[in-house]
Amino acid sequence: MALAFIGLGSNLGDGRRNLRAAWEQLGLQPGLQLLALSSPYLSSPVNKPEWQAAGRRLGKQLFTNAVGVLETRLTPLELLGVMHQVEKNLGRDRVRSPDRTIDLDLLYYDDLVLEGPDLVLPHPELAKRFFVLAPLEELAPDRPHPLLGLTTRQMRQCLPAGEETLVRRFSWDEDLPG
């Protein structure tokens, strides 16, 4: 079985509920065994330049993010297909808006390095995003990136000063401000 790390994010509706629903749906899929889910984190939206060029912008709602680790018998592309189906089941519309009820990203699949038209592993933005590295560090602080050779903790420490102020860890039960 392969070890896979999944990034979960939501900026529409109740983010914690959306993340939990996605994680639970993943756990119902044949060939997947859930191992651990990080704490949830709140973060500001990050607009991609290609979205802005196309006149698309994320809404102002904060993102809720987490990282989960699971074991799978599925190939990376089969796992990606299951993840896209879970997104669709939970109302994700990839065409209409960059906002999302749920966004599932395959961060790592064992130590596989892959660059294909439908999937790049490890996730190409992984080392640049505090909102991914912070929850990933909870689960795998010493896991090395197969291309960079840096651990999760080292990648997080390499981010520009101030990034951590944009992301706030909370619990699955904590009342949120506002």
Which domains, ranges and CATH numbers included, belong to the chain?
Answer: 2-169 (3.30.70.560)
- The CA–CA distances, whole Å, from 80 to 50, 61, 149 equal 22, 26, 25
> Which residues are tagged catalytic?
92, 100, 103, 105
- The CA–CA distances, whole Å, from 92 to 61, 99, 174 equal 16, 8, 26
Query: Closest by alpha carbon to 16, among 38, 33, 32?
Result: 38
Q: What is the pLDDT of residue 51?
A: 44
Extract the runs of DSSP E, i.e. beta strands, from the chain.
2-10, 32-37, 41-43, 63-72, 103-109, 114-115, 120-121, 167-169
The average pLDDT across 24-41 equals 97
The average pLDDT across 104-113 equals 98
Where is pLDDT greater, at 54 or 150? Answer: 150
The average pLDDT across 37-54 equals 72
